[in-house]
Structure 1
Amino acid sequence: MLNRSLAVLLSLTTFLSACSTAPGNHLDTSRLQDNDPTPTETYPVRLISTQVIAQQVAAMTPAAPLPPSRFPDPLQYVYRVEPQDILGVTIWDHPELTTPQSSGISTGGNTTQSIGAALAQPYAQALPGQADPFGQTVGPEGNIFFPFVGKLHVAGKTTGQIRDELTAGLAPYIKKPQVDVRVLAYRSQKISVTGEVKTPGPLAVSDVPLTLVDAITRSGGTTAEADLQRVRLTRNGKLYVLDAYGVLDRGDVAQNVMLQSGDILNVPDRTDSRIFVLGEVKTPVPVPMLKGKLTIADALTAAGGILDTDANARQIYVVRGMSTNPSTPDIYRLDMTQPDSLLLSTQFQLRPLDVVYVGTSGAVQVNRLIQQVLPSLQSLFFLKELTR
C-alpha cells in the first residue's frame, strides 16, 4: 500500500511540474528578475462630508490666464493690409482707373468670378487662379503700383489711410478725386483650426473681428467627441486653455477671445476629461465628463450602479492626482450607508482622470477565496481516496 501511495504522489508531482508546458497563454518567468520591494507607503483618506464639499467649492480652480490681445475692445479693431492681400480701388467718374466690376471677370486660366463672389470668398481660401489683373496685389515689400501715383507702400496701413494717400497722389492730375479702397481678398493673415471640428483648416483674418466661437462655427462646428471646455490656443509660442462652454452656457464673454494672425486653435477630444469607474460595479467603464462636470452619483450611474451582492457600500473611494503627483494622491471615501450619502454623492464634483473605486464586501472576499481553494481541496480528497 505504501509503494502504491508513493507511486501516486510521484505521478501527481510529475503532472504538476508539466503545467508549464500546458497549452494556452503562459509566460516563462525564469528569465525575469523582479526585485521591486513591497510598497510601505500609507495614504490618508478623507471621509466625504458637507465640510469637504464646502472646502471643495471654496478652493475651486481659478480661471486660466487669458492671452493678451492687441485690441482689448472689439470696437477698436481695425484691419491692416499686408503682403499678398488684393485691393480694389474705385475712382469715381474715372472708370479707366477703377478696378473692373463687370458681372464676370477673369481670374486666370479658364476661371471667371464676379466681384461680389470675390468679396464673399471663403475665409479659408484665396481667389482661384491669378487675380492680379483685376485688383492691386500687395507685393512682398508691401507696395502696390497705381497709375499717376506710382509705387505706394501700403503694408501695415488701413484702407482709410491708403485711400487718403491715393487721393493726395491723384490730386495734381484729377480735380477733387473721390477714391474708395477695399480689400477684395484677405490672403496675408490667417489662423489654423485643428482637432475635433468638422472642417479643420486655415481661416483668414479679415476686417471683421474673428473670435473663438466664430472660428469654431466657421470650421463647421465640432464633432461629437469635442471637449469645448479645454480648447487650446497657441499664440507666440505660449499655450492657453480656453473654455468655450463658458461662453455658450454661462455667457462668459471673457473666454471668447479675439484671434489674431498666427494663432493655432486646437479643439481636443475628451480623452483628458474622463473618469474611470472600477471595482464592484456592474459595468466598469471610463465616463466622459458632461460639460466639464461630473459627480460621484453621475459616475456610478453611468457604470450601471454598484453590485448589490458584492460591493461594500462603505468603501466608495475617489483617487485623485495620480497624473500630476502619483507618489501622494488625494484619496476620499464615501460611506453610502449613511442617510445623507445620496445627497453627498450628487454634490461631490469629480475632476478629470479621477478614479472611482467601489470596494468588495468581506463576505464576498471569503467566498472568492473558497472558490480558489476548493478545487485544490477536492484534488486532495480524491488523492486520499486513491491512496487507501
Structure 2
Amino acid sequence: MAEQNMLMRNFILSLLLLLAAFVSACSTAPGNYLDTSRLKDNQTAPTETYPVTLINAQVVMDQAKSAAAAPQVLPQSRYADPAQYVYRIAPQDILGVTVWDHPELTTPNGSTLSAGGNTTQSVGAALQQPYTTALPGQADPYGQTVAADGTIYFPFVGRIHAAGKTVGELRDQLASGLVRYIRNPQVDVRVLSYRGQKVHVTGQVKTPGPLSISDVPLSLVDAITRSGGTTGDADLQRVRLTRNNQLYVLDANRMLDSGDTKQNVMLQAGDILNVPDRIDSRVFVMGEVKNPIQLTMIKGRLSIADALTQSGGILDTDANPRQIFVLRGMQQNPTTPEVYRLDMTQPDSIMLSTQFQLQPMDVVYVGTAASTTFNRVLQQVLPTIQTLFYLRQLTR
C-alpha cells in the first residue's frame, strides 16, 4: 500500500512537471508573441510618493475661488469701442469712384465684378453686399484695384497712395486733385470688394476658410456665424486666436452663457481663429466601475457625480467607496500630479461629489476593496487545487 501511494505521488509530480514544461514551451509555439530576451526590464520598484488631498468643503470652495480668479490674457484691440472702428483701404481692394456730372470719370454702374464664387454681380448689388470677395488672383477691370504698393491711378490726378486711408480721406484727396480741372468737384469713393484684409477661420466650423474684413467690425461671434456656425464636436470654451505670433484662448461659452462680452474680441487682419474639437476636454473614469469610460466635458463642466453616473456607478461588491481618486495635472506635471480622494462613506460625500468640478484630462479612479483582492486570488488558485483534487480521486 505504501509503495502504491509512493507511485501515485511520483505520477502526480511528473504530471505537474509536464504541465510546467508545456507552459514554458508556449514561447516556441506558433502565433504572435514578443521575444523579450533582448529587453532589459528594470524591476526596481518606484520610490516616489504622492501627497493626497482629501476632498472636503474647504477644498471645493478653494477650487471655485481659484477658477474665478484665474487670470486670462486677452488680445488688445486697436479700438476700445466698436463704434470707433473705421475701415482703412488695403492693397487688392477694389474701389468705385463717382464724380457727379462726369460719367467719364465714374465707375460704370452696369459693370460686373466677381462675387467670390463662379458668378458675377452688378456694382449696385456689390454695394449692398459689404462682404463681397473676388476670386483668388482675379482683378476687376471696371473698378480701381489698389496695387500691391498701395497706390491707384486716377485720371487728371495721377497715381496716389490709397492704402491705409479711409474712404473719406481718399475722397478728399481725389477732390483736391480734380479741383484744377473741375469746378467744385463732387466725389464719392466706395469699396466695391473687400479683398485686402482677411481673417482665417479653421477647425470645427461648417464652412472654414478666409473671411474678408469690411467696414463692419468683425467680432468673434460674427466670424463663427459667417462660417456657418460650429459642428457638434466644437469646443467653444477653448477657441484659439493667433495674432502677431501670440496665442490667445477665448471662452465663447462664457460670453454666450454669462454675458462676458470681453470674450467677443474684435478681429483684425491676419488673425487666425481656430475652433478646436473636444479631444482636450476628456475625462477618464477607470477602476472598479461598471463601465470604464472616456467622457467629454460639456461646456467645460463635469463633476465627480456626473462622471460616476455616466460610467454606471461603482461596483457594489468590488469597489472601495473610500477610495474615489482624482488624478490631475499629468500633462503639465507628469512626475508630480495632484491627487485628490473622496470618501463616499461620509454623509456630505454626495454633496461634495456634485460640487467638485473636474478639469480636462483628469482621471477618476475607483479603488478596489481588500476583500475583492483576496477573492480574486482565490479565483486564480481554486482551479489548480480542484484539478489536483480530481487527479488524486481518479488515481485511487
TM-score (structure 1 length as normaliser): 0.93
- Structure 1, 218-227 or 372-381: larger mean CA deviation: 372-381
The CA distance in 2 between the partners of 1:288 and 1:100, in whole Å, is 56
Does residue 98 in structure 1 map to residue 100 in structure 2?
no
Asked if the contact 1:228/1:243 (under 8 Å) is kept, the reply is yes
Distance 1:10 1:154, change over 3 A: closer
After TM superposition, the structure 1 = structure 2 runs for residues 271-282 of structure 1, keeping only pairs within 5 Å, are 271-282=279-290
Q: Which residue of 2 aligns with 1:137?
A: 145
Q: Which residue of 2 aligns with 1:52?
A: 59
Asked if the contact 1:107/1:128 (under 8 Å) is kept, the reply is no
- Structure 1, 372-381 or 43-52: larger mean CA deviation: 372-381
Does residue 118 in structure 1 map to residue 133 in structure 2?
no
Which residue among 8, 12, 35 is the counterpart of 2:19? 12
The CA distance in 2 between the partners of 1:9 and 1:141, in whole Å, is 90
Asked if the contact 1:107/1:133 (under 8 Å) is kept, the reply is no
Asked if the contact 2:130/2:215 (under 8 Å) is kept, the reply is no
Asked if the contact 2:113/2:123 (under 8 Å) is kept, the reply is no
**Secondary structure at the counterpart of residue 295 of structure 2:** strand
After TM superposition, the structure 1 = structure 2 runs for residues 284-299 of structure 1, keeping only pairs within 5 Å, are 284-299=292-307
Which residue among 328, 331, 348 is the counterpart of 1:340? 348
Which residue among 27, 37, 40 is the counterpart of 1:33? 40
The CA distance in 1 between the partners of 2:153 and 2:107, in whole Å, is 13
Q: Deviation at 1:384?
A: 4.0
Q: Deviation at 1:21?
A: 3.7
Distance 1:138 1:344, change over 3 A: same
TM-score (structure 2 length as normaliser): 0.91
Which residue among 196, 203, 220 is the counterpart of 1:188? 196
Distance 1:169 1:326, change over 3 A: same
The CA distance in 2 between the partners of 1:107 and 1:8, in whole Å, is 88
Does residue 89 in structure 1 map to residue 119 in structure 2?
no
Q: Deviation at 1:112?
A: 4.4
**Secondary structure at the counterpart of residue 65 of structure 1:** coil
**Secondary structure at the counterpart of residue 78 of structure 1:** coil
Asked if the contact 1:80/1:156 (under 8 Å) is kept, the reply is yes
- Show structure 1 runs of 5+ residues with no match: none
Asked if the contact 1:277/1:356 (under 8 Å) is kept, the reply is yes
Aligned Cα RMSD in Å? 2.3
Q: Which residue of 1 aligns with 2:372?
A: 364
Q: Deviation at 1:299?
A: 1.0
Asked if the contact 1:111/1:129 (under 8 Å) is kept, the reply is no
**Secondary structure at the counterpart of residue 133 of structure 1:** coil
- Show structure 2 runs of 5+ residues with no match: none
Q: Deviation at 1:131?
A: 4.6
After TM superposition, the structure 1 = structure 2 runs for residues 132-171 of structure 1, keeping only pairs within 5 Å, are 132-171=140-179
Asked if the contact 1:277/1:303 (under 8 Å) is kept, the reply is yes
Q: Which residue of 2 aligns with 1:226?
A: 234
The CA distance in 1 between the partners of 2:323 and 2:102, in whole Å, is 85
Percent identity, please: 67
The CA distance in 2 between the partners of 1:339 and 1:107, in whole Å, is 70
Asked if the contact 2:198/2:213 (under 8 Å) is kept, the reply is yes
Asked if the contact 2:197/2:269 (under 8 Å) is kept, the reply is yes
**Secondary structure at the counterpart of residue 331 of structure 1:** strand
Asked if the contact 2:130/2:214 (under 8 Å) is kept, the reply is no
**Secondary structure at the counterpart of residue 141 of structure 2:** helix
Which residue among 218, 228, 245 is the counterpart of 1:210? 218
Q: Which residue of 1 aligns with 2:271?
A: 263
